Structure 1
Amino acid sequence: MRTRRAILEAAALVFEEHGYDTAKLSDIVKIANVTKGALYFHFESKEGLAQAVIDAQNEAQPQMLPQQFKAQEFVDIGMVFSHQLRHDALMRASTRLTLDHAGRGLDRVTPYQTWIELHVPLLEEAQRRGELLPNVDPRVPARLIVGAYAGLNTMSYTLGLDMDVQVSELYTHVMPGVVVPAVAIRLDTAPGRGARALYGPQGAHECRHSCAGGVSPREGA
Structure 2
Amino acid sequence: MRRPKQDRAVHTRELILDAAAGVFDENGFAGASINKILSRAGVTAGAMYFHFRSKADLARAVIHTQSSALEIPEQPGGIQQLIDLTMYLTGQFTSNIRFRAGVRLAVEQGESGLQDYTAYRWWISIFERELVAARARGELLPGVDEASFARFVVASYTGTQVMSDIATARTDLAEQVVTMWRYLLPSIVPPLMLTHYVIDPARKDLISA
| TM beyond 0.5 | yes
Structure 1 segment 205-220 matched on structure 2, within 5 A: none
Alignment partners' CA distance in 1, 2:203 and 2:115: 30
Is residue 1 of structure 2 the alignment partner of residue 7 of structure 1?
no
Counterpart among 164, 189, 194 of residue 179 in structure 1: 189
User: What do the CA deviations read for 1:148-180 (whole angstroms, capped 9, x no partner)?
Assistant: 111112111111232222222212321122112
Counterpart position of 2:164: 156
User: What do the CA deviations read for 1:60-113 (whole angstroms, capped 9, x no partner)?
Assistant: 44143878x611122233222222222101111100100101111x24211111
Counterpart position of 2:41: 32
On the 8 A contact 1:133/1:179 being kept in 2, the answer is yes
Is residue 66 of structure 2 the alignment partner of residue 57 of structure 1?
yes
Query: Which amino acid is 1:21 matched to?
Result: A
Unaligned stretches of 5+ in structure 1?
Answer: 200-221
TM-score by length of 1: 0.81
Query: Which amino acid is 1:167 matched to?
Result: V
On the 8 A contact 1:83/1:192 being kept in 2, the answer is no
Counterpart among 139, 155, 168 of residue 178 in structure 2: 168
Alignment partners' CA distance in 1, 2:68 and 2:31: 26
Structure 1 segment 69-218 matched on structure 2, within 5 A: 70-100=78-108, 101-104=110-113, 106-160=114-168, 161-162=170-171, 163-199=173-209
On the 8 A contact 2:67/2:99 being kept in 1, the answer is no
Distance 1:3 1:115, change over 3 A: same
Query: Which amino acid is 1:139 matched to?
Result: A
User: What do the CA deviations read for 1:106-161 (whole angstroms, capped 9, x no partner)?
Assistant: 24211111111211122122112211123222223211110011111211111123
Counterpart position of 2:54: 45
Counterpart among 16, 19, 27 of residue 25 in structure 2: 16
TM-score by length of 2: 0.86
Name which structure has the greater RCO, CA cutoff 8 Å, separation 6+.
2
On the 8 A contact 1:65/1:198 being kept in 2, the answer is no
User: What do the CA deviations read for 1:176-215 (whole angstroms, capped 9, x no partner)?
Assistant: 221123432121221132212322xxxxxxxxxxxxxxxx
Q: CA deviation at 1:47?
A: 0.9
- Greater percentage in helix: 2
On the 8 A contact 1:65/1:197 being kept in 2, the answer is no
Identity %: 35
Counterpart position of 1:215: none
- Which is further off, 122-131 or 21-30? 122-131
Distance 1:176 1:198, change over 3 A: farther
Alignment partners' CA distance in 2, 1:189 and 1:82: 13
Alignment partners' CA distance in 2, 1:61 and 1:99: 19
Counterpart position of 1:206: none
Alignment partners' CA distance in 2, 1:30 and 1:49: 15
Q: CA deviation at 1:59?
A: 4.0
